[in-house]
Structure 1
Amino acid sequence: MSATLDPSSAAPAVKIIDFSLFLSEDSDTKRSTANGILESFKTIGFVCLTNHGLPQSRVDEMFGWSKSFFALPMEKKILAPHPPAGTHHRGYSAPGREIVVQGKYDEETVKSLRETNQDYKESFESGREDDPVMPNIWPPENVLPGFRQACLDFYWTCYELEKNILRALAVGLGLDEEYFIPFHGKADSQLRLLHYPPTRVPEGAHNLSRLAAHTDFDTITILFQDDVGGIEVEDPNHPGSFIPVAPVPGAVVVNAGDFLAQWSNDIIKSTMHRVRAPPGASVDGVVPARYSIPYFCACDLNLVVDAIPGTWSDENPKKYEPTSVMDYVMKRFAAAY
């Protein structure tokens, strides 16, 4: 007799949703698409959006700039150094500089993690040009002419996509479509260029970790990635078990961050995820380089937010006190450096 599979134990898949259906003029189509996005956020915290409205030519161009920057000699890249403190999250970070810290903030624990849990990647981070809290740190223009403007142009293109995704989230929650927009009016977000250099797989190893398991701590993250792949999402039904998310050409992967989970009174999931070398990716024992571009969307830092309307009731009371965005974000930033 064959065993019956408990449906609740099956790993939920990351939904692939055609976002052009939300951008349509038909209200029923918009609502059903928004509901699908929200449902994916509630079950696994991730969704994959195709036809999202950002031209692929713009994405390809930004990947080209990223590859050009990381191909520079180290002495050129460090002309835009990330400051020692994580609270100023801008500029270039060399491999091993940043650590992934999951809810660990005390000094001794962070020090221990820094010594044992470094991820072999390099990054460059930027934001809006008029940010008084975290001003941008650029390499001299003659190091890579056009790089600065390319980053800024792509940042503001991502901001338009961010707002449309937030509109879909609002519709899914039964709120006014513009509900989340005033909370993100200053574009206090971050564009990160990431490069995982080619790496030799240790002898006898079956896989290679490229980024340790973690959650993001923003509202949402929009991820552009190349075709190398490797991102894996924790199965919410089986903690410690991870589900590969294969790259979908032309799509973006969107996930909810810790802040959105808390803001939604935990009806939305912020899910652990990691990056590993996909099976079969290595050639002669070497895993190829991987490039990705996450755009971290955060609330305006000057705000204090309370639970989203409709996410709490007498039967399901608020779990969190009103939260200062500045305090929350800076605490998380500081632990990474």
Structure 2
Amino acid sequence: MGSNFNNVPPFPSDVPTIDLRCLSYNKLLAEDVAESEQLFKSCKENGFFLLNLQGSNEGDEMLELAKFAFQLSEDLSMKSDKEELEKYAWKPPGSIFGYKGLGKTKTEDGKPDNAEFYAMAQDDMIGNVAPSAHPPIIEQARPKIKEYCTRAHSILMHLMSHLDKHLGLEAGTLASLNPIDQPSGTSLRMLHAPPLPAGSAARGSVFGHTDFGSMTLLFNIVGGLQVLVPPDAEPIDANYRYVKPQPGCAIINLGDAMIPWSGGLLKSNMHRVVVPPGEQKTIDRYSLAYPMRPAANASMRRLAKVGANEGAETEMNGEKDICAKDWEKLRVARLVGGNLKRVAVMEVKEVEA
């Protein structure tokens, strides 16, 4: 995947960036104590870090799968008939899988978004449920997509194993809440944002939101992703910082499920996608998101004894036992009612669409 970085304009040096830790997956596989501590610090401070996948068999395989998925995403966007893709359109709120065309949702300023995506349910791709219909290009890629989901899940499970230790949980606790062989909302999303016409007003691709799931594995080569700094800051332009993509690295971020499980100790931070900086704005932007969600029947009760969120609502700190599927519905409903400000804004827009 690193060679793809050679085909895009350089990321500019004069834009505000967030200084994310770059952790070695190889060291984490080797149970390096210092690297594990850095992972925990990142999850407590802003919920984001870079993961260098180079140098391990599993990591190198993931990078090759990402290279394949980037090409698949480009072929889907550039070689497929849009009217044909609309036959597989997403139908929120009943389903958030399938094709979403440009401008189907709104950004913070009320303008149509500048992104299209195709989302594939993990349950569909690995065989947890009966297969859904997809365009031929996706159907032909099923074995590779299954392999992508399986590999991404395995990597995130290892990261979860380190969090088990730091949270004082029994080994395998977090993994048991995110099994790959049980129904969940986990997906692979291939996103594409075309360059805007010269002279047109700037339009973002994905507005400010937090992820509903447990942990997300993200690949992008062109900039545009921004993270709120610090996590509790007002979500205004001045408080967002670009993430600079790095060759051989995935971007990892925690989702909202980690808040109740950790009693508020871990962070799920707001992020958004805007027009790429500098000369990168002149080219197509592709990204691959694997947002892992808990099993639908997983309990959202607080797991850790060391949480910091004593004053939060019961659904936030996990004192009330509720399954993940109902917890997600509750949070969407509260967002629509304006009671929770910054959780999974994308999901609310899907419900309202």
TM-score range for the pair, normalised by the shorter chain length:
0.7 to 0.9
Kept in 1, the 8 Å contact 2:117–2:189? The answer is yes
Distance 1:137 1:290, change over 3 A: farther
Distance (Å, rounded) in 2 between the aligned partners of 1:91 and 1:330? 20
Distance 1:81 1:35, change over 3 A: same
Residue aligning to 2:98: 91
Q: What percent of counterpart residues are identical? A: 21
In structure 2, the residue corresponding to 1:128 is in which secondary structure? helix
Kept in 2, the 8 Å contact 1:65–1:150? The answer is no
Q: Alpha-carbon deviation of 1:137? A: 3.7
Residue aligning to 1:138: 133
Matches within 5 A, 1:184-195: 184-185=178-179, 186=182, 188=184, 189-195=186-192
Counterpart amino acid of residue 65 in structure 1 = L
Residue aligning to 2:85: 77
Aligned residues: 300
Residue aligning to 2:167: 173
2:297 to 291, 295, 302: 302
Distance 1:94 1:131, change over 3 A: farther
The C-alpha deviation readout for 1:186-238, integer Å capped at 9, x for no partner, is 262111111111212545x6x65222211111111110112x11111111175
2:240 to 215, 239, 242: 242
Distance (Å, rounded) in 2 between the aligned partners of 1:87 and 1:70? 24
Kept in 1, the 8 Å contact 2:102–2:113? The answer is yes
Counterpart amino acid of residue 57 in structure 1 = E
Distance (Å, rounded) in 2 between the aligned partners of 1:191 and 1:314? 31
Residue aligning to 2:154: 160
Distance 1:98 1:312, change over 3 A: same
TM-score by length of 2: 0.76
Distance (Å, rounded) in 1 between the aligned partners of 2:116 and 2:297? 30
Residue aligning to 1:232: 226
The C-alpha deviation readout for 1:15-37, integer Å capped at 9, x for no partner, is 1111211101xx5x2x3322211
Kept in 2, the 8 Å contact 1:167–1:181? The answer is yes
Q: Alpha-carbon deviation of 1:171? A: 2.3
Kept in 1, the 8 Å contact 2:300–2:321? The answer is yes
Residue aligning to 1:34: 36
The C-alpha deviation readout for 1:262-310, integer Å capped at 9, x for no partner, is 321211111111112233125xxx6321000110111110122211222
Q: Alpha-carbon deviation of 1:146? A: 1.8
Q: Alpha-carbon deviation of 1:311? A: 2.8
Distance 1:117 1:301, change over 3 A: farther
Distance (Å, rounded) in 2 between the aligned partners of 1:307 and 1:171? 16
Residue aligning to 1:65: 72
In structure 2, the residue corresponding to 1:323 is in which secondary structure? coil
Kept in 2, the 8 Å contact 1:12–1:44? The answer is no
| Alignment pair present for 1:44 and 2:46 | yes
Distance (Å, rounded) in 1 between the aligned partners of 2:39 and 2:71? 30
Counterpart amino acid of residue 66 in structure 1 = S
Q: Alpha-carbon deviation of 1:150? A: 2.6
Counterpart amino acid of residue 103 in structure 2 = G
Distance (Å, rounded) in 2 between the aligned partners of 1:288 and 1:65? 17
More helix by share: 2
In structure 2, the residue corresponding to 1:209 is in which secondary structure? coil
Q: Alpha-carbon deviation of 1:158? A: 1.3
Counterpart amino acid of residue 144 in structure 2 = A
Q: Alpha-carbon deviation of 1:140? A: 4.3
Distance 1:313 1:217, change over 3 A: closer
In structure 2, the residue corresponding to 1:97 is in which secondary structure? coil
Distance (Å, rounded) in 1 between the aligned partners of 2:74 and 2:323? 37
Q: Alpha-carbon deviation of 1:40? A: 0.6
Distance (Å, rounded) in 1 between the aligned partners of 2:74 and 2:207? 23
Larger Rg: 1
Q: Alpha-carbon deviation of 1:99? A: 4.9
The C-alpha deviation readout for 1:120-177, integer Å capped at 9, x for no partner, is 2111111222445xx6543243x56623333222122211112112112212323333
Residue aligning to 1:221: 216
Residue aligning to 1:5: none
In structure 1, the residue corresponding to 2:326 is in which secondary structure? helix
Counterpart amino acid of residue 156 in structure 1 = T
Distance 1:304 1:234, change over 3 A: same
Kept in 2, the 8 Å contact 1:22–1:33? The answer is yes
Gaps of 5+ in 1: 1-10, 102-112
In structure 1, the residue corresponding to 2:268 is in which secondary structure? coil
Counterpart amino acid of residue 118 in structure 1 = P
Counterpart amino acid of residue 42 in structure 1 = K
In structure 1, the residue corresponding to 2:217 is in which secondary structure? strand
Structure 1 residue runs of 4 or more that deviate by more than 4 Å after TM superposition: 313-318
Residue aligning to 1:3: none
